[in-house]
C-alpha cells in the first residue's frame, strides 16, 4: 500500500492482503470527519477515462469539503471476488460512504449494503432490474449517456467530410448500447444521409481493456471510409486514438477529456460526469441529506456533455458548436426525445 492508499498486489495475494488491511482497528478520526472508500472498475485508476473521472470526484471532495486524505482509501480489484471483498472491508473498517465504480458492482453492493445498514453506499451505473429492490442505504447512480452521445453524434456528422462516422463499443451490453443509440440519433439529426459503422470489442469485461483490439477496429473503420470515430470502450479506446494518429483521422473520447491521448486527432470527448455524481453523493453524506434509490444525471443535471475549449477549437468550428448548443437546449426542454436503445 503506498502513500495514497492504493493497493497494487498480485491477484493471488489480494484477498489475503485485503483481509489483513481491514482486520486492523479503524484509525481514529476527529469527530464529524467523513471517511470515504472507493473500489474501482475494470481498468483501475489511470485508465484516463471512467475510473479517473470517479477519482476526480473524490479529489474534489477532499478539496472542497475538507476531507482529509487519510480519511479516504481506494482499491483496484484484480478479479471478480475482490469487488465484494473490497466493499465489505471498507464497511468493516468504518468508512461512512463506500462507492463502487461500475455496473459490475451492483450485486456486490446489494449484498454488502444489507450486511451494513448503517453504512452509506453508492454505485456508479447501478444496474436497476425490474422486480429487484434497491437497498435503502444504496444510491443508484445512473446517467443519460444517450443525451451526451446525441450531441457527439451531431458533431461527428457535421464535421465528417466522407459522410461516414464510426462507433467503437467496449462490452456488448445495454449500457454501451445507450451510447450507440444516442450517437446514431444525433448523427442522423445533423445529416440524415450519414452512414454509421459499428464494432464492439467483446462480450466480457475484458472488452474495456484491450487497446490492441481497439486499434484493429479503428483501422478497419477508417479504411472503410469513416473519418471520425467515437469510442465508448474504456482503455480499449486508447487503441482507437493510435489508429487515428496512424491514419491522420479524428477520434472522439469518452467519460473524461481525452485530448491529451492524441493531440490534433481528438475532435472532442463525450463527458460522462462521474466526477459530479461521486462528489454529490459524498457531499450529501457529509450534509446528512443522503438518500438511497435511483439518481439520474443528464444534460439538465450537468451529468453529461462534450468538450469545447482551447485545445480543440481549431477542430471544432464555431458554427458546429452553435448548432449543437441548439440541439442541447431542445433536449433539455423536452423538444427532442433521445432514444436509449
pLDDT in tens, 297-317: 999 999 999 999 999 999 999
The arithmetic mean of pLDDT across residues 256-273, rounded, is 95
- pLDDT reported for residue 173: 95
The residues with which 254 forms a beta bridge, in sequence order, are: 270
- pLDDT reported for residue 224: 98
pLDDT at 71 over 50: yes
Helices marked H in the chain — which ranges? Answer: 11-23, 50-64, 80-92, 106-115, 145-159, 174-190, 211-223, 237-247, 274-287, 318-333
The DSSP letter of residue 257 is -
pLDDT in tens, 126-163: 999 988 999 999 999 999 999 999 999 999 999 999 99
Q: Which residues contact 89 (CB under 8 A, 6 or more apart)?
A: 18, 19, 21, 22, 75
- Return d(Cα 190, Cα 42) in angstroms, integer: 34
Q: Where are the domains of the chain?
A: 11-143+274-297, 145-272+308-333
pLDDT at 27 over 50: no
- pLDDT reported for residue 32: 58
- Return d(Cα 53, Cα 45) in angstroms, integer: 9
Q: Over pLDDT 90: what percentage of the chain? A: 82
Tell the CATH topology of 145-272+308-333: Rossmann fold (3.40.50)
pLDDT at 167 over 80: yes
- pLDDT reported for residue 109: 98
- Return d(Cα 251, Cα 256) in angstroms, integer: 14
pLDDT at 20 over 70: no
The overall average pLDDT reported for the chain is: 90
The arithmetic mean of pLDDT across residues 185-205, rounded, is 97
Confidence of residue 49 (pLDDT cuts 50, 70, 90): confident
- pLDDT reported for residue 78: 81
Nearest residue to 254 (alpha-carbon basis) of 306, 316, 202? 306
Confidence of residue 256 (pLDDT cuts 50, 70, 90): confident
CA R_g for the chain: 20
Return the H-helix or E-strand segment holding 61.
helix 50-64
Residue with cell 474504456: 234
- Return d(Cα 5, Cα 221) in angstroms, integer: 41
Q: What are phi and psi of 324, to 5 degrees?
A: -70, -40
For the residues of 73-91, what is the DSSP string, one character each?
EEE--SSHHHHHHHHHHHH
Tell the CATH topology of 11-143+274-297: Rossmann fold (3.40.50)
- pLDDT reported for residue 1: 38
Least confident among 5-9, 131-135, 253-257, 276-280: 5-9
220 burial via Cβ count (<10 Å: 0-12, 13-18, 19+) = middle
pLDDT at 11 over 50: no
- pLDDT reported for residue 132: 92
Q: Same CATH topology for 11-143+274-297 and 145-272+308-333?
A: yes
Pair type for strands 195-202 and 250-255: unpaired
- pLDDT reported for residue 77: 84
Amino acid at each position: 500500500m503506498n502513500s495514497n492508499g492504493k493497493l497494487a498486489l498480485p491477484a493471488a495475494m489480494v484477498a489475503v492482503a485485503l483481509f489483513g488491511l481491514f482486520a486492523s482497528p479503524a484509525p481514529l478520526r476527529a469527530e464529524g470527519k467523513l471517511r470515504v472508500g472507493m473500489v474501482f472498475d475494470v481498468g483501475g485508476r489511470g485508465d484516463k477515462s471512467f475510473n479517473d473521472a470517479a477519482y476526480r470526484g473524490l479529489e474534489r471532495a477532499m478539496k472542497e469539503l475538507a476531507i482529509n486524505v487519510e480519511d479516504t482509501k481506494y482499491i483496484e480489484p484484480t478479479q471478480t471476488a475482490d469487488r465484494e471483498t473490497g466493499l465489505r472491508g471498507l464497511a468493516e473498517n468504518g468508512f461512512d460512504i463506500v462507492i463502487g465504480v461500475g455496473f459490475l458492482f451492483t450485486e456486490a453492493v446489494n449484498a454488502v449494503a444489507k450486511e451494513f445498514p448503517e453504512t452509506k453506499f453508492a454505485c456508479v451505473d447501478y444496474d436497476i432490474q425490474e422486480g429487484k429492490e434497491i437497498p435503502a442505504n444504496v444510491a443508484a447512480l445512473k446517467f443519460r449517456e444517450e443525451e451526451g452521445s446525441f450531441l457527439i453524434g451531431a458533431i461527428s456528422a457535421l464535421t465528417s467530410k466522407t459522410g461516414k462516422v464510426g462507433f467503437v463499443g467496449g462490452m456488448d451490453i445495454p449500457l454501451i448500447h445507450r451510447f450507440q443509440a444516442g450517437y446514431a440519433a444525433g448523427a442522423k439529426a445533423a445529416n440524415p444521409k450519414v452512414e454509421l459503422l459499428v464494432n464492439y470489442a467483446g462480450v466480457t469485461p475484458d472488452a474495456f481493456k484491450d487497446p490492441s483490439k481497439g486499434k484493429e477496429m479503428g483501422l478497419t473503420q477508417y479504411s472503410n471510409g469513416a473519418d471520425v470515430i467515437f469510442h465508448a470502450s474504456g482503455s480499449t479506446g486508447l487503441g482507437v486514438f493510435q489508429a487515428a494518429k496512424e491514419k491522420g483521422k479524428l477520434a472522439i473520447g469518452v467519460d473524461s477529456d481525452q485530448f491529451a491521448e492524441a493531440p490534433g486527432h481528438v475532435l472532442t470527448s463525450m463527458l460522462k460526469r462521474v466526477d459530479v455524481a461521486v462528489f454529490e453523493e459524498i457531499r450529501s453524506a457529509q450534509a446528512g441529506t443522503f438518500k438511497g434509490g435511483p439518481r439520474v444525471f443528464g444534460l439538465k443535471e450537468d451529468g453529461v456533455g462534450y468538450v469545447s475549449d482551447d485545445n480543440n477549437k481549431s477542430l471544432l468550428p464555431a458554427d458546429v458548436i452553435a448548432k449543437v448548443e441548439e440541439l442541447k437546449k431542445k433536449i433539455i426542454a423536452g423538444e427532442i426525445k433521445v432514444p436509449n436503445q
